Structure 1
Amino acid sequence: MPPRASRISWLIPLFVVANVIVFIVTMYVNNCPKNSFNCRLTFLKRLSFESLRDNPLLGPSSETLKKMGALNSTLVVKKHQGWRLISCMWLHAGVLHLLANMICLLLIGIRLEREFGFVKIGLLYLLSGFGGSLLSALFIQDRISVGASGALFGLLGAMVSELITNWSIYSNKIAALITLVIIIGINLAVGILPHVDNFAHIGGFVSGFLLGFVLLMRPQLGWVRHQGHAGMPGGAPVKSRHKIYQIVLLIVAVLLLVAGYSTAIALLYKEVDVNKKCSWCHYLSCVPTSHWNCNGSKTFECEVCSSLSFCFSIFSASLRNRRRPRSSFLLYDSF
């Protein structure tokens, strides 16, 4: 197994390439000049964008997004198109949406993949995106939703739980935790603006937070693998690999994940109107003010990575939060 420092991140760049390819295909299918006389950047011909009035993010029409697999709870349930819960996270509403999310994914994802391996981070990304889609489908039933931000917020949530479960091996942990909490709060607050699918953000974050306890748990400082270390005396005491609280957090997280996914899927396919059960929950995604309302004319929601400063803040915070150095004989497993 290669050491973490020498690992090459290939899955996250592959995800970025896949998102870009899907966007190009979406624009090709959209074919604005054939369906509209008011396209933007017409020199792109078939790939030209819809008018800024229809899509200010420089992208396709909402109908094309729906055709390509955007999330819509009615189609998921009544037309048995459950695949939209996954396909929507590979679609983007426009160039600006795609650019913001892909920069976020590169800044956050590459470090995590090099640290924990492609299998764990790949699972974390996909399951978090699925969790975000589930919550979005439950609460946003009259619009379509696209974007990778549910999965991105899952990576952010996992960074928090990874810090908590591996608390003893970090330095500057209080400062790092406070920084993460502030960044999370700011970005969830931005999610109450119109046309931002904050339910996908929340669902992705909670899923990633719980998955972090399961996938990103590390051995405690001082643990050694007895076999394979030639310098260890035969009767030397060996410290347990994980602390009790790490195991407890893992078990609780698994139970909550199973219960959460199962309950959400059951509510979705039983067509339960959760907005009636929770009359205030819609404020989590949009709060009307004198400057805007939450019933605008737009027909799609963008799971926008709220700002690029979010990504740079996460990236810089992760660099400041170095782990304590381990002795050379201390071994730990990670894919």
Structure 2
Amino acid sequence: MAAAPENVQIRVHSRRGVNTIHPVSVESPHPAAAASPAANYREVKHFKKWFPWLIPTFVVANVVMFIISMYVNNCPKNSISCVAGFLGRFSFQPFKENPLLGPSSSALGKMGALDVAKVVDKHQGWRLITCMWLHGGVFHLLANMLSLLVIGIRLEQEFGFVRIGLLYLISGLGGSLLSALFIQSNISVGASGALFGLLGAMLSELITNWTIYANKLAAFTTLVVIVAINLAVGILPHVDNFAHIGGFVSGFLLGFVFLIRPQFGWVNQRYAPISPAGYSSAASPAGYSSTSRAANPKFMAYQRILWLLSLILLVVGFTVGLVLLLRGVDLNDHCSWCHYLSCVPTSKWSCNTQPISCQAEQTGSQYTLTCSNSSKSRSYSLLNPTATQIQGLCAQLCR
């Protein structure tokens, strides 16, 4: 399994990141069909393999968006110093400002990062979607894209591009929505909400198609452990675990809706070889008549119940979440302990989420910046600096 996906928080001066056992496609003719030349065999399409093209397209789109972000960032023009300056306009922000080898927070904001103040006050709801296609740096991009290839291609092969594409996008929206309701003082970017949606869908697919798995307990245990490890990584600072949780829950529910499979009994009955007389040429097991075989349901009762309940929860959850967000509700005010789901403070790190800001004093070409959070102070010799340069120096000073 690839490295755990992470949604990275980039702090800015603001007003306010498995192996399962899938059924094998039934592609060879039934023995009775091979024995009888007159038998009519029909291909089982419910378990065919799809050619995966959408997930690789998503990967390319994310890489392209990162390149565009670096072009917009233009470090040599907007920063005092840059990493890998030989890249020119595509060089990276200083490590102290962005240790992931990427653009500045202001550049990500211009590209569509999730900024709750702009979503609520300026009605820029599209940021809930665009933030899924942005990444904080090279390391962030590589981790998420490797995970997407490992998880997504297998799912697209099994279920097709339509269902997996919708699952990816809706899960990403769910992750952005929960993140916006809890983290309102920083911007957030990354595809890991959608990635956790794919993990959640794998778990619900295992549950809803339980009867067709051979090693049920092993597959379930493996997947649960992988999900738990990925979510545990989210309690580290600068990682948006609310996006992980929101994406996972959305994907888990969507898996019951999109990834339901018909029962093998129904498939065998439907695609059994047909004799010229119009009757199934497959021999019925001892003690079972053709009438009892015809009674095989396409979906079990528990599959139908899970489908309906999940659909209701999804509609209600997204509706309530969007209403609360557009009203400017901060769920931290109603849940005093929920912030621990995204970051647990220890002696090694702090979970301070206050936005970064600095006071600037100018004396000729000398600028003295004082961090409002830590009272750190430093003087810089600058000639007509831009606001972006001052903001970058502030970010370096306060970290």
Indicate whether the TM-score tops 0.5.
yes
Match among 16, 36, 47 for residue 59 of structure 2: 16
Confirm or deny that 1:271 pairs with 2:317: no
Partner of 1:125: 168
Residue range with higher mean Cα deviation, 201-210 or 4-13: 4-13
Match among 299, 302, 311 for residue 242 of structure 1: 299
Residue 274 of structure 2 aligns with an amino acid whose one-letter code is: A
Partner of 2:385: none
Would you say the 8 A contact 1:165–1:217 is kept in 2? yes
Alpha-carbon separation, structure 1, partners of 2:273 and 2:109:
57
Would you say the 8 A contact 1:195–1:298 is kept in 2? no
**What displacement does 1:131 show?**
0.1
Partner of 1:230: 274
Partner of 2:28: none
Would you say the 8 A contact 1:194–1:292 is kept in 2? yes
Confirm or deny that 1:281 pairs with 2:338: yes
Residue range with higher mean Cα deviation, 232-241 or 253-262: 232-241
Q: 1:29 to 1:164 in 2, by over 3 A?
A: same
Alpha-carbon separation, structure 2, partners of 1:103 and 1:285:
23
Structure 2 gap ranges (5+): 1-42, 281-289, 357-399
Q: 1:275 to 1:58 in 2, by over 3 A?
A: same
Q: Which has the larger radius of gyration?
A: 2
**What displacement does 1:96 show?**
0.4
Would you say the 8 A contact 1:4–1:114 is kept in 2? no
User: What's the CA shift string for 1:186-210, capped at 9, x where partnerless?
Assistant: 1111111100000000000000000
Task: Map 1:57-96 to 2 at 5 A.
Answer: 57-96=100-139
Residue 248 of structure 1 aligns with an amino acid whose one-letter code is: I
Q: 1:297 to 1:276 in 2, by over 3 A?
A: closer
Alpha-carbon separation, structure 1, partners of 2:338 and 2:97:
28
Would you say the 8 A contact 1:9–1:113 is kept in 2? yes
User: What's the CA shift string for 1:238-277, capped at 9, x where partnerless?
Assistant: 2110000000000000010011101100111111221010
Alpha-carbon separation, structure 2, partners of 1:297 and 1:140:
10
**What displacement does 1:179 show?**
1.2
Would you say the 8 A contact 1:159–1:212 is kept in 2? yes
Match among 259, 262, 280 for residue 219 of structure 1: 262
Confirm or deny that 1:255 pairs with 2:312: yes
Would you say the 8 A contact 1:69–1:87 is kept in 2? yes
Alpha-carbon separation, structure 2, partners of 1:146 and 1:11:
21
Alpha-carbon separation, structure 1, partners of 2:306 and 2:353:
42
**What displacement does 1:230 show?**
2.3
Would you say the 8 A contact 2:134–2:190 is kept in 1? yes
Q: Is the partner of 2:352 in helix, strand or coil?
A: coil
Residue 244 of structure 1 aligns with an amino acid whose one-letter code is: A
Q: 1:6 to 1:202 in 2, by over 3 A?
A: closer
Match among 71, 74, 92 for residue 31 of structure 1: 74
**What displacement does 1:181 show?**
1.1
**What displacement does 1:227 show?**
8.0
Alpha-carbon separation, structure 2, partners of 1:150 and 1:268:
18
**What displacement does 1:291 show?**
1.0
Partner of 2:199: 156
Q: Is the partner of 1:222 in helix, strand or coil?
A: helix
Q: Is the partner of 1:145 in helix, strand or coil?
A: strand
Partner of 2:84: 41
Would you say the 8 A contact 2:50–2:159 is kept in 1? no
Q: 1:290 to 1:226 in 2, by over 3 A?
A: closer
Would you say the 8 A contact 2:185–2:354 is kept in 1? no
Partner of 1:136: 179
TM-score of the two chains, using structure 1 as the length reference: 0.86
Partner of 1:50: 93
Alpha-carbon separation, structure 1, partners of 2:144 and 2:256:
25
Alpha-carbon separation, structure 2, partners of 1:227 and 1:219:
12
Would you say the 8 A contact 2:71–2:89 is kept in 1? yes
Residue 230 of structure 1 aligns with an amino acid whose one-letter code is: I
Partner of 2:7: none
Alpha-carbon separation, structure 1, partners of 2:178 and 2:273:
48
**What displacement does 1:171 show?**
1.0
User: What's the CA shift string for 1:52-82, capped at 9, x where partnerless?
Assistant: 1100000000000011000011111110000
Alpha-carbon separation, structure 2, partners of 1:55 and 1:281:
27
Alpha-carbon separation, structure 1, partners of 2:272 and 2:129:
43
Partner of 1:209: 252
User: What's the CA shift string for 1:295-334, capped at 9, x where partnerless?
Assistant: 16786xxxxxxxxxxxxxxxxxxxxxxxxxxxxxxxxxxx
Alpha-carbon separation, structure 2, partners of 1:170 and 1:228:
21
**What displacement does 1:3 show?**
7.8
Q: 1:78 to 1:64 in 2, by over 3 A?
A: same
Partner of 2:367: none
Would you say the 8 A contact 1:31–1:47 is kept in 2? yes
